[in-house]
Structure 1
Amino acid sequence: MSEADAESGTLETMQPNPAWDADSHVDAVEALSEDGLVFRVWGGDWCGDCRGQLPDFGAALAAAEVPAERIHHYPVEKEDDGSKTGPLVEENDIELIPTVVVERDGEEVARYVEDEGVPIAVYLAERL
């Protein structure tokens, strides 16, 4: 993805959950804090899965002290047929949300899609 990526806003659901316990997720916080990682988050504030998962992920990124310029939000809308529309949805094969893509040096190194059975931060940390 280029630096000219068009973002159309922020996701309220990425506001960190104040109840999230970083001490219980030390390995995840450490993995997410790696220099140079870029986080691209597709979600919708209307989406139940996003409302349930993204606040904790936002808290994990805050605990890892990831700079805001390395976290990109891509708000997604759902069409009547269930398909998703929004910034870079087609280019990145976004079908389910939340989807989080982690890049290093412009290359995708990990991807979380909707519900992997563990929290987003834990899932991504295991793959980094």
Structure 2
Amino acid sequence: MTLETLAPAADVDADAFDEAVLDALAADEYVFKVWGGDWCGDCQRQLPEFGAALAAAGVPDDRVEAFPVTKGPSGKEGELVDEYDVELIPTVVVESADSEELVRFVEEEDISIAAFLARRLADVEATA
């Protein structure tokens, strides 16, 4: 099973993204773990733009791990859902190269996933 909604939106221009957001996403050490479902309205609305932001930032595919989620009788089901305590989707976890969780986006915010992560990553960098 794949997470097709993470494919970059064709109608999003790379120039539409703030340079600071792209720079934050492009940092070499980050790994993006993305949980979502192609059936999920929030994922359909948010993940294509996030995929486009990752592409515009030049994030290589080997630093983006997509985990499709299904609806089960007791909640969300899928790879690493329990290990990462994923209850709402989309969920995006940004980890350092040594697998330390740095930032987490869960379901929805007032700004895009990319902008939310960029702001939180700036905070992480400022306190490092």
TM-score greater than 0.5 by the shorter chain: yes
> Aligned residue pairs: how many?
119
Q: Distance in 2 between matches of 1:23 and 1:52?
A: 20
Q: Distance in 1 between matches of 2:60 and 2:102?
A: 19
**Shift, 1:18, TM fit:** 1.8
**1:48 corresponding residue in structure 2:** 41
**Shift, 1:10, TM fit:** 2.5
Deviant stretches of 4+, over 3 Å:
none
- Map Cα deviations across residues 49-75 of structure 1 (whole Å, 9 max, x no partner): 000000000000000111101100100
Q: Distance in 2 between matches of 1:113 and 1:21?
A: 25
Gaps of 5+ in 1: 1-8
Q: Distance in 2 between matches of 1:37 and 1:93?
A: 20
**2:95 corresponding residue in structure 1:** 103
**2:69 corresponding residue in structure 1:** 76
**1:6 corresponding residue in structure 2:** none
- The reply on whether 1:13 has 2:5 as its aligned counterpart is yes
Q: Is the 8 A contact 1:77 1:85 kept in 2?
A: yes
**2:77 corresponding residue in structure 1:** 85
Identity percentage over the alignment? 56
Gaps of 5+ in 2: 122-128
What TM-score comes out, normalization by structure 1 length?
A: 0.88
More helix by share: 2
- The reply on whether 1:116 has 2:102 as its aligned counterpart is no
Q: Which amino acid aligns with 1:62?
A: A
Q: Distance in 1 between matches of 2:115 and 2:61?
A: 20
